[in-house]
Amino acid sequence: MGTRWWGRLAAVAGTAAVVGLAAASPAWADTTVDINPGNVPATAEDHEDHGCDFGGGPFADKDVWVFVLPGNKGEFVSVTAVFGANGSLTIPTDGGAIVDDKGTSKAWITTPAGWTLTGATAVISGTADKFNLTHTCPAGGGNGGETPTPTPSQSESPSTTSPATPGGSVSGTPGAGAGGGSLPVTGGAVLATAVLGVALVAGGAALLALRRRKEAHVFDSEV
């Protein structure tokens, strides 16, 4: 009985010690902190750090804003960003998201292009005393919201060519081919060539006969 009694007493004492330690541990209550005053006012285009790793940008007509809780000193519960006369937006209630980026709490949201961030507050769980606007993704990726249009160079200007003449080229001298040689003779040209050849042969035969006749006449005279 004595051994059992001491065992029960030790168990009760251990439980009480655990409860006491839990009660003595400090609990991190949610607190509200302000943005680093050096980060505002700012437009997404004018902010010194640009990056499009959050929010799906770049967009043609939207800016993406990314906030960070530095030093791993807690986590964002919500972030309320004030954009002057355009009003305020709360993350994640009005869009965007709170994410854990390798142990660092970050929050992002998108706005129409050209809005100016004039202030921000955040509800956090932790010990940080402020948070930062880490970077932005301006509309158009950082060129003022304008999508660059490629300009064709002079060397790429289209050249003007004359339409092809049906039936081939008509330039040059008649009878000359594209390579400078003579085109084949056809049709009437063949007939004219044949007639000329016959006339030349006949003329040659007549001259030969006349020459022989003259030679025979001279021989008879000498005899």
pLDDT number for residue 185: 45
In a domain, 7, yes or no: no
In a domain, 210, yes or no: yes
Q: Name residues whose C-beta falls within 8 Å of residue 31's C-beta, 6 or more positions apart in sequence.
A: 123, 124, 125, 126
In a domain, 85, yes or no: yes
pLDDT number for residue 99: 97
pLDDT number for residue 42: 98
What phi and psi, each to the nearest 5 degrees, are found at residue 43?
Answer: -100, 160
- Domain match, 33 and 134 both: yes
Overall number of domains in the chain: 2
As averages over each run of 10 residues, the pLDDT of the chain (223 residues) reads 50 45 56 97 97 96 97 93 98 97 96 98 95 97 48 44 47 43 48 57 64 56 47
- Domain of residue 112, residue span: 27-141
- Domain match, 117 and 32 both: yes
* DSSP per-residue string spanning the chain: -HHHHHHHHHHHHHHHHHHHHHHHSPP--EEEEEEPGGG-SEETTTSS-B--SSTT---SSEEEEEEE-GGG-EEEEEEEEE-GGG-EEEETTTS-EEEEETTEEEEEEEEETT-EE-EEEEEEEES-SEEEEEEEE-GGGSSTTPPP-PPPPGGGSPPP-PPPPTTS---SSTTB-TTSSBPPP-THHHHHHHHHHHHHHHHHHHHHHHHHHHHHHHHHHH-
Last residue of a domain, one of 141, 160, 175: 141
pLDDT number for residue 4: 54
pLDDT number for residue 71: 83
- Domain match, 133 and 44 both: yes
What pTM was computed for the model?
0.54
pLDDT number for residue 73: 86
Q: Which of 65, 179, 53 is nearest to 111 (CA)?
A: 65
pLDDT number for residue 43: 98
- Domain match, 133 and 198 both: no
